[in-house]
Amino acid sequence: MVLSSFSLSLLALAGSALGADLPSIQMKGSKFFYPNGTQFFFKGIAYQQQTGAAGSTPSNSSYIDPLADTTRCKADVPNLVALKTNAIRVYAIDPTKDHSTCMKLLSDNGIYVVADLGEPSLSINRDDPSWDTDLFARYKKVVDEMAKYTNTIGFFAGNEVSNANNNTGASAYVKAATRDTKAYIKSKNYRWMGVGYAANDDKPIRDQIASYFNCGPTEASIDFFGYNIYSWCGSSNFEDSGYNRLMEFFKDYSVPMFFAEYGCNLPKGAASRTFDETTALYVDNMTEVVSGGIVYEYFQETNDYGLVKLDSDGSISKMTDFAALEKKISAVNPKGVNIDSYNPTSKAKSCPSVSSTWQANAALPPTPNESACECMFKAAACVPASSLEADEYGRIFSFVCGSDSSLCSGINGNTTTGKYGAYSMCSSRQKLAYVLDAYYKKNKNAATACDFKGSAATQSASGSRSSCDKITSSNSTSSDGNSSSSLGVTGAPLTRVGGSALGIYLVAALFGVAIVVS
């Protein structure tokens, strides 16, 4: 689509009016504020192609970075401005690409950004969760890239990771990611950028999730809670939609809560959306509790939530619900409080108890430490062969851990007890080196014990495991600020190997337990 001279004039006018970079958003208690003390409410749009239903990522590992496509940004910002957008949510960016043009264009038009930290092939998997060196490296790169721009509000450490009783343990890994990302931002002396979590509205666990990510010390808890909620469909109301229950639960929440996705498309798809919930979202009783919301989504996809349709030639056509949202969002005028007159008293929630319906202990997985993992790898006498592909790791883990589960204790984790092996935070390849070396030494360094049909090889060990253990023990902290146990423990999840859920299926094989995977 070619921008009209009128659209370009609007952008130029907005840029000259705002001039310098947008002032960074601040947080106090359960609310967001501009630096001048005015309360900030999200009037947002989810802005990324191929995000999949409710923000889940597609099975394909490729993705389109919406902030690196300057042509697309220039074409879409006028539409975002027409929808009174002051924030967008992006689900995956490539931190190696240049985002300066799009971020400047957004800034010049008063638009902030909240970015998810993961990407399709590297994120916390609910069925085989892990918080390791590879994933932490990805998160840090995204933070470093987005910290350049004053219109970055913050990040989501996870999106709808736990969505059923049987995968609530995965939340421990997301909370560990939250803790470590917050610590990284602080260590780099960056300005405040929040780290939050986006949850969907799963009735059996929704209150437990909101409590778990809010409980404990602020160093490990979220800075904001994003609610992906689609319960207001058509001409609903506060009672039928459950908004009244939501307001009751969150009225004393200690950090900001906003709708990270909303915009039900039932019963007749995107074209039938009237956005009555947009009006409801910004009325006085709602704004006391909810800091606005982000409409799902800008681009029309197969799930039928789009506001615009992107044609093969790159042109954009507005869908029927674009006008409906434009009308409703233009009419809202949320009344907030001034930061100086706001004195929050709410305290963090209590952590939910571990039970048959909640499997995440308050004690969290250790912080990924590349130095400790690399030390361990170099100290191993038997390691994966350089030619070994990641999809081959599973058979070796299965054999070694199946023959003697104690050999894998240092890489295992148990979310219900809160006990994690010292090297459970290493990459899959590093974990495999740990397992291979343990097996090799158990078999008295027999040549046949470090072969696995050419999948393993001996190396000249450098250093000692004991010195590596000291690094891990000084590095590991739990959610309560104490040193977390590095005792060897057995239980799911074990390790992430490529896209396979090795830990779940291996534990089932070892102990004969039934595993239900949603």
DSSP for residue 97: S
Phi/psi class of residue 331: alpha, beta or left (left: φ > 0; alpha: ψ in -120 to 50)? Answer: alpha
Residue pair 154/196 in contact by the 8 Å Cβ criterion: yes
Rounded to whole angstroms, the Cα distance separating 230 from 248 reads 18
Rounded to whole angstroms, the Cα distance separating 397 from 205 reads 32
Residue with tokens 């989504």: 297
| Active-site residue, selected from the candidate residues 160, 277, 297, 301 | 160
Residue pair 437/471 in contact by the 8 Å Cβ criterion: no
Residue pair 291/279 in contact by the 8 Å Cβ criterion: no
Residue pair 211/242 in contact by the 8 Å Cβ criterion: no
Rounded to whole angstroms, the Cα distance separating 281 from 295 reads 11
- Identity of the amino acid at 297: E
**The tokens of 176 are what?**
């560990």
Residue with tokens 């409906």: 324
Determine how many CB atoms are found less than 10 A away from the CB of residue 217.
11
- Taking CA atoms, 185 is separated from 41, 146, 149, 194, 197, in Å, by 24, 11, 14, 9, 16
Residue 288 catalytic? no
Residue 190, SS3 per DSSP: coil
**The tokens of 117 are what?**
């930290």
Shortest CA distance to 264 belongs to which of 518, 2, 54, 42?
Answer: 54
Rounded to whole angstroms, the Cα distance separating 492 from 513 reads 11
Backbone φ and ψ for 198, nearest 5 degrees, come out as -110, 120
Residue pair 150/34 in contact by the 8 Å Cβ criterion: no
| Active-site residue, selected from the candidate residues 219, 239, 248, 261 | 261
Residue pair 197/222 in contact by the 8 Å Cβ criterion: yes
DSSP for residue 411: G
Residue 90, SS3 per DSSP: strand
Residue 387, SS3 per DSSP: coil
Rounded to whole angstroms, the Cα distance separating 194 from 389 reads 37
Rounded to whole angstroms, the Cα distance separating 319 from 298 reads 10
Residue 277 catalytic? no
Q: Which residues are catalytic?
A: 160, 261
